[in-house]
Structure 1
Amino acid sequence: MEAIFNVQSKFALERGLSKIKAIRNENYKRHGTKSYVYLLNRFGFEPTKPGPYFQGASFHQRGLAHPDFHEARGGRVHKKKHLKKKQTPEGATDPNGTETGEVGAEDQQNDSEYLCEVTIGTPGQKLLLDFDTGSSDLWVFSTELSKSLQSNHTVFNPKNSSTFKALTGQKWQISYGDGSSASGDCGSDDVTVGGLTIKNQTVELASTLAQQFAQGTGDGLLGLAWPSINTVTTNGKPTPANTPVANMITQEDVPSESELFTAAFYSERDANAQSFYTFGYIDQDLVTASGQQIAWTDVDNSQGFWMFPSTSSSVNGKAISQSGNSAIADTGTTLALVSDDVCDALYKAIPGAKYDDQQQGYVFPMSTDVSSLPEFKVSVGNTQFVIQPEDLAFAPADNNNWYGGVQSRGDNPFDILGDVFLKSVYAIFDQGNQRFGAVPKIQATQNLNPPSNQ
């Protein structure tokens, strides 16, 4: 590993690479249930625990509209899932409600906890983007949007870039289970992250945008998953575009030892710690500070995610075997979602913890002392990592309880390890070698005080 570090250090110095600050979004408001509902939409899983939100089905008829009817008749019928919520007749959310309603923007957390500066075009236009290892589109707010949707955002103007080229016939669209979507056309341009410039990168320009996206703070998203789940089409046929990291590799912008990126997240409770990403090199100081070698595990990218084996967990040293289990590392997710068995074991070890039907999640008393929280570990390959106690307290659930940072994955077939997990490790996404690595990064002092932005 020392030889690889030397190559990376020389490359970073020669190219003037730097850490990309993951800027804490001052407008981000933590809310446990809204974050969980966002994940229900993002991944489309069915909850296995009671609560107001569930995946409902609607049936769509494919076929031509008969002149005597106002809807399609004939053809194949297909079922589509939509997130719904149970309600009382008056409209108040009620886990035992007998009516169902639509899930709106107010039900979910649509803002990003961290934003990173990216430069696009010549001369460079600087935008704040959400870096997301759970998706693969690089899309931005553009001048093709209506003025009302552009409000409070930095907007990319392709006409002001001499290196922008329109990609004729290419379109893109992202959508979620609540029906919200964003879409538009595509071009290519120079994209610079942390001093590394990627030429001819596909940039997806938003021309339509759901209100919930517009209400967020960032100016778009930079996907860091694998290109296979990119949504670009050419003349209606899927033609996934390369992500910046994939282009970084195929265009040989980096040496073979540097075909990676890394993420170091810190809690907002720790005012002096700066979260960051690097592209093309590993921060050796963080690895050295951990006192451990990097724990590597092979990645299964067949679904487009950073997926790896995670076959064991433990609570206060008591092992929970999960034969065949997998997990994904997802910077676009705030919570950590695990199996019901693991959730039950964790919260049974926290005095006063309970499952709250109304909030559709586990909660525990704010009076809990950090020293009484259990040591909870999840595995990356063959190595277990502690999720630091302070991140088990995700957000105030009410005046007396915390909403837990670890929640049920429902019927989703794999764990989703978001920021609640990633804040405890230094994460290394080695795309060239198709592996994921980590070392522990635990804060010396644990703090359960609510963050200042609550």
Structure 2
Amino acid sequence: MAGNSSSGLADKIKANILKFCDSDHNKQPDEPTEPNKPTTLPTTDTSNMAGTFTKIPVKRNPNYKAHGTKSYVYALARFGFNPTMDGPYHHSTKIAQQGKFADHAGQKHIGGKLRFSHGLSKKASDGTTGQVSSDDIQNDSLYLTPVTIGTPGQTFNLDFDSGSSDLWVWSTELPSSLTRNSKHNIFDPSKSSSYKKSSGSTWEISYGDGSSASGDVGTDNVTIGGLTIENQSIELAKKLSSAFQQDTGDGLLGLAFGSINTVKPNPVKTPVDNLIAQEDIPKSAELFTCYLGSWRDTADPDKGESFYTFGFIADDLTETTGEISYADVDKSQGFWNVKSETYTINGKQATQSGNTAIMDTGTTLALVSDEVCKAVYGAIEGATYDSTQQGWTFPSKTTADHLPTISLAIGDKEFTIAKEDLGFADAGNGMLYGGIQSRGDQTFDILGDVMLKNIYAIFDVGNTRFGALQRTEPSVNLSIPPSTS
């Protein structure tokens, strides 16, 4: 189990928080809050934060290759939902056995216990069904963020994922045949004086395609953008399936809530849990923020750059925006789940009563109901559902004035997805794979990078709410996504 962060962390936060707290954002616990009411963005002078709080630059993975179907299959494997539109990929149930086969009169009988195994399958063109291979799925991360672990620090490029709660890294516990010539940064606990092994604790992540990662657990110091968490639980990879081996990143840092952490026999405190564990840290500092850029925006003022912050909200965004709209978060399933009951296409609003959405930095696409998908692509001339690619596509020659203006609700306010983000990847034959796709029979929307690139996202842990600030693009770049985004 992870311990508390250092008192030095609390002192740093208290010293810096005075630079940006305002009366609304710095409410005391006994003051009522209005989660959905737009508020003035608190400002922060980050120029004087060297050595304390800084923006954490996010690297765009140079090896990432945008592929619509593979990204969709990744979401299928990860969340386990069943597709409601035709396509080669689907979930199937198989009978597995625990025990041995017995041969009686030439007939095979299963001994031991029966169990049902749910997995992702692929239907071939001849109608036969087979297993999904690592080549069928997007196994690489688009965004990677540096994190330092141990004493002295060892630096790793991790996938920051607000849809999961494990912090795992490549480690020396992996077979030497895998690490010997690897380009990954490998965590060596023997070289950290602050590392402690957590006896008896193990972890395992497994997806519907059969891919998995697992290993042992320890605690160590973790530094993220000038913020150090002592005795943070670290999950050391001991086994990685081929799909996990293909990822350019050195592991994952989950930013969801601890209830979906996979450590056994007892879940551990996540970095998010430890962020709010300090009783003397103001609630206004119990947050992290996310600003994701795009390869299309290199000519824009932000140069397409991306960053995270922990403990403060960046002030420079107030120059062009200035208001955050907050939405209550339902964390009962471990996700950043918010109400999302309306959407607007070309000025015409529609309602989906009771609909919700999770804000997920670990998913590239925006996955919504079939109703919304049909409305979106019904507004684009020449758009069609391509069952061979299991996704909606539209002509790459479509100009900006022929693309719809689409807004999705986060809480009580709608946020617009830039037209340039409607095309996710080249689908061949003069078509683009859409950035908005079907969530299948999933009961909530999954708003990934396609939406998050259009807002400044505030994950307010202390107040259990999600804040969003609309971003606008000074220009529209409809270039066909390159093979390496």
Provide TM-score, normalisation by structure 1: 0.93
Q: Determine whether 1:439 maps to 2:469.
A: yes
Relative to 1, partners in 2 of residues 1:12 and 1:437: Cα closer, same or farther, differing over 3 Å?
farther
Partner Cα separation in structure 1 for residue 254 and residue 56 of structure 2: 15
> What do the CA deviations read for 1:242-283 (whole angstroms, capped 9, x no partner)?
111211221458432100000001111112121000000011
Q: 2:111 aligns with which of 56, 73, 76?
A: 73
Question: 1:156 corresponds to which residue?
Answer: 187
Relative to 1, partners in 2 of residues 1:74 and 1:214: Cα closer, same or farther, differing over 3 Å?
closer
Question: 1:190 corresponds to which residue?
Answer: 221
Contact 2:294 2:305 in 1 (8 A): no
Q: 1:82 aligns with which of 102, 106, 119?
A: 119
Relative to 1, partners in 2 of residues 1:252 and 1:22: Cα closer, same or farther, differing over 3 Å?
farther
Q: Determine whether 1:22 maps to 2:61.
A: no
Q: Determine whether 1:385 maps to 2:415.
A: yes
Helix, strand or coil at the partner of 2:276 = helix
Q: Determine whether 1:418 maps to 2:448.
A: yes
Q: Determine whether 1:263 maps to 2:290.
A: yes
Contact 2:426 2:481 in 1 (8 A): no
Question: 1:172 corresponds to which residue?
Answer: 203
Q: Determine whether 1:244 maps to 2:271.
A: yes
In structure 2, stretches of 5+ residues that fail to align are 1-20, 27-40
Deviation above 6 Å: which 4+ runs of structure 1? Answer: 5-8
Computed over aligned residues only, the root mean square deviation of the Cα atoms, in angstroms, reads: 2.0
> What do the CA deviations read for 1:275-320 (whole angstroms, capped 9, x no partner)?
00000001122144224x2110100000000001000111111112
Partner Cα separation in structure 2 for residue 78 and residue 385 of structure 1: 45
Helix, strand or coil at the partner of 1:368 = coil
Q: 2:425 aligns with which of 395, 399, 406?
A: 395
> What do the CA deviations read for 1:199-219 (whole angstroms, capped 9, x no partner)?
000000000001111111000
How many residues get paired? 439
Provide TM-score, normalisation by structure 2: 0.87
Contact 2:296 2:304 in 1 (8 A): no
Contact 1:425 1:440 in 2 (8 A): yes
The equivalences for 1:2-13 within 5 A come to: 2-3=22-23, 4=26, 13=49
Helix, strand or coil at the partner of 2:76 = helix
Counterpart code for 1:195: G
Partner Cα separation in structure 1 for residue 343 and residue 421 of structure 2: 17
Q: 1:144 aligns with which of 158, 167, 173?
A: 173
Paired-residue identity, %? 53
Counterpart code for 1:302: S
Partner Cα separation in structure 2 for residue 372 and residue 254 of structure 1: 50
Partner Cα separation in structure 2 for residue 166 and residue 331 of structure 1: 30
Counterpart code for 2:85: K
Question: 2:343 corresponds to which residue?
Answer: 313
Q: Determine whether 1:341 maps to 2:371.
A: yes
Q: Which moved more, 1:302-311 or 1:393-402?
A: 393-402
Relative to 1, partners in 2 of residues 1:7 and 1:266: Cα closer, same or farther, differing over 3 Å?
closer
Question: 2:15 corresponds to which residue?
Answer: none
Q: Which moved more, 1:422-431 or 1:270-279?
A: 270-279
Q: Report how far residue 6 of structure 1 moved.
A: 6.5
Question: 1:48 corresponds to which residue?
Answer: 84
Question: 2:248 corresponds to which residue?
Answer: 217
Partner Cα separation in structure 2 for residue 100 and residue 245 of structure 1: 41
Q: 1:113 aligns with which of 139, 142, 147?
A: 142
In structure 1, stretches of 5+ residues that fail to align are 88-93
Partner Cα separation in structure 1 for residue 154 and residue 451 of structure 2: 33
Contact 2:202 2:215 in 1 (8 A): yes
Partner Cα separation in structure 2 for residue 414 and residue 19 of structure 1: 31
Question: 2:4 corresponds to which residue?
Answer: none
Contact 2:369 2:439 in 1 (8 A): yes
Partner Cα separation in structure 2 for residue 60 and residue 166 of structure 1: 35
Relative to 1, partners in 2 of residues 1:27 and 1:7: Cα closer, same or farther, differing over 3 Å?
closer
